[in-house]
Every structure is written in C-alpha cells, then in structure tokens.
Amino acid sequence: MPADTSLRLRILEAVTDAPADGWDALAGPDAPPFIRHAWLAAMEESGSATEETGWAPHHLTLWRGPRLVAAAPAYLKFHSMGEYIYDFGWADAAARLGVEYYPKLVVGGPLSPATVPRFLIAPGEDVPALRRALLAAAAGSAQEAGCSSVHVLYPTGDEADFLEAEGLARRITLQFHWKNPGYASYDDYLARFDSKRRNQLRRERGAAATQGITLRTVRGEALSQEHARRAYDFYTSTCERHAWGQIQLTPDFFARVFRTMPDAVELVEAVRGPKVIAGAFNLATAERLYGRYWGAFEEHPFLHFHVCLYHSVEDCIRAGRKVFEPGAGGEHKVSRGFEPTAVHSAHLIFDKTLDGAVRGFLRREHARLAPAVEEAERICGLKPWPLAGSPGASGATGT
C-alpha cells in the first residue's frame, strides 16, 4: 500500500509532547534560543508559562505519518503581560463593545520579545502551503476555544509579509538594536560618534574602574547552577525594585536553561572586591546576542549601562557578532548608538467592529512611526560607516 502523505493536525498542551529532536530539526541548527525545544520546555515545566500563570500551551503541529513537518509555538492567553506588543487599549475597547477579549491565542514565545521564525517548516516542504495550514489551524482552534483573536508576535519580516497578504492586520513597532558593520575594535565603534558623545561614552564606561568594579562574561562549561541561582537573583532584584515589575519566571526555569542550553547562555557579572554586585542574563547565537534580564545589589553611577550595553558591545565586536538585541524599551539605548529597528506583529480579530477599530488605530500609529524613527536616528547620531578602502575604514568591511 502507498504511504499516507496527508497532513494531520495535533494541538499540543505541552511542547514535550513533541520529540525534541524533531522540533529542533524544524527550527534548524542555527535557531535562536527562544524557539528551541529546551527553552520552551523550561518555560512550561518550571511553572513559568502555564495556564495558572496565564500562558496555556496550545502548540500547533502538523504531522505526515509519524514525522513532524511543521509547528508554531502558541499559547492561550488570559492577560497581555509578558508579550511586549502592547494591546491593553484594545482590550479596553473590546470591553466597551461588549466583547470578551480574553482568552486570545498568541503565536509566539512567553516573555521573549525577539524576532524569530514563528512558523517552523521542515526542509523540502511547501512553505507557503504549510504556513497557510498552520494559520488556518490557529484561527479554527482559537474560535473553538472561545478566543477573541489570534496574535502572531515578533515574526520575521518575510512571515509578516505573508500574514498581511493573508488578511491579518500588520503592526510595526520599534526596538533599538546595536549593529556591527565590521568594527575591528571598540574604538572603531566610538569613532562613529561626535566628540561630545564619544567622551560621554568613555566617561560612563570608565566609571567602573574608578569604582573598583570589573566585568566578566561567564559562558559554556564555566556555567554552573550557582550562576543559575545568581541569574534568578538579578532578575528578581529588578522586578522588586519597580512598581511595574512582576516576577513570572521561577528559579527552576533558570536552573533548567543553564543545565540544558549552556551553549546559548552568557552571564555578565560585575565584581567589586569579593562580591558579585550586578549582572545580566543574556542568550547568544554565533551572529546575535540577546539581552534578557539584569539586576544589581548595589547602586553605582553608570553600572547599568556598563553591564547591559558597553561590555556586551565590546564582546560582540570581539566575537564578530552582527547584532545585539537588548530587548524591549529604548530611550536610554538610542543615545548610546542603538539604532531604531522595526519589529512586527500580525492580528486576526474575529469581531468585525473591534477589528475595524484596531485597524484604524494601526493606521494612525503607523503614520506616527516615520517621525519617531527620524527623531531616534537624530538622537542616535551615528556617522555613516565608511566603505572598505575609504579614509577611516580601518580595513573593515562596510555594509
């Protein structure tokens, strides 16, 4: 008998219901950490992303016989915390219209505001066809679950183009990323600022030495469970310091990630005397560094900038990484050379009146985007990177 080549949809209530090797084969060998099986499993099994915390796993998977051929990480959401594509106003508008906004279906990862592929497709498969099948599964299962909407958060630009062509409302917002056009040294990076800004950055970065503080990055085999406990303490120290802070990750999440993904974890530590006084939990691939959580147990001028920005910029230059994404937010990053970068989301809202209101809001928001980018670029103040062979190029390759 011929083999059955038809697709079968399975909605998983835990990522561990899919084989880790099959899932990671879809993500690819250079996958960002946030779509790896181990990351999602750590979120769910640690109690950080569960129905009780407002993140009920609802992963969309397509199978051909016993083989997993496509997947989209997804969660039923009962609030809008931890997404960083802010739709609280939409929820308020829904309430005024008598529409229950929650639950909603989020296609994306918990607490991970980074652009990564959202539709994972096996090599050799028909990508557009399987994307459509996953999108149809998202819409159909969301309606069956009583959701108001489907939200695809932080897809790639190519995926966002596809979703817009399929009729979803596209949203563009900004993050601020450091980009490496081929710096040979940290001084190459500083040379792109005017003298006033250059002196400011040198002064802020140099403050650590006068404070008796040294910085180091711990990675790979040097990481231990003590470092995992320290990363959790950094994270909670920041959450507890701010009124908006909400502790959503558990100690077990950090323990699992340090144990199962040491290749992707980097921990920046600030040391003063015998004590680690501050640090940042970052994730990395060969080409990108992702800033996640920072914290400090002592207050010192410019410590945050040094731990979260300057030290890692120099690390990226040394490693030849192309991009450093320090996460959501950006006002303090702009003047330190982090450039405005578009991030995408796509939204399918079932109530026609609410959908029309949201699309009107997005048109107005988009009209304000260009002036915001121009202002950020003005504040950023970077000089153009010279082409290779031109004066001041330092032998580096321009882009």
Give residue limits of the domains in the chain: 7-175+342-377, 181-321
Given a contact cutoff of 8 angstroms between Cβ atoms, the answer to whether 338 and 177 are in contact is yes
Residue 19's CB is within 10 A of a number of other CB atoms, namely 13
The average pLDDT across 239-256 equals 86
Q: What is the mean pLDDT of residues 166-176?
A: 95
d(CA 158, CA 176): 20
pLDDT, average across residues 342-353: 97
Is the separation of the CB atoms in 345 and 173 below 8 Å?
yes
Instruction: Please give the pLDDT value at position 18.
Output: 98
> With contact defined as beta carbons under 8 Å apart, do 212 and 273 qualify?
yes
pTM for the structure as a whole: 0.92
pLDDT at 370 over 90: no
Reading the block at residue 187, the tokens are 């001084």
Give the Cβ contact number of residue 356 at 10 Å: 12
Whether 398 has a pLDDT exceeding 50, the answer reads no
Sign for the pseudo-dihedral over CA of 12, 125, 108, 289: positive
Strand partners, 270: 215, 278
Query: What is the CATH number assigned to the segment(s) 7-175+342-377?
Result: 3.40.630.30
- DSSP for 149-167 reads EEEEES--HHHHHHHHHTT
pLDDT at 376 over 80: no
Q: Which CATH number fits domain 181-321: 3.40.630.30, 3.40.630.40, 2.170.120.12, 3.40.47.10?
A: 3.40.630.30
Summarize the confidence of residues 219-234 as an average pLDDT: 96
Please count the other Cβ atoms lying within 10 Å of the Cβ belonging to residue 382. 16
pLDDT at 244: 62
- Label residue 392 by pLDDT band (50, 70, 90): very low
Residue 245 is predicted with a pLDDT of 62
How confident is the model over 8-22, as a mean pLDDT? 98
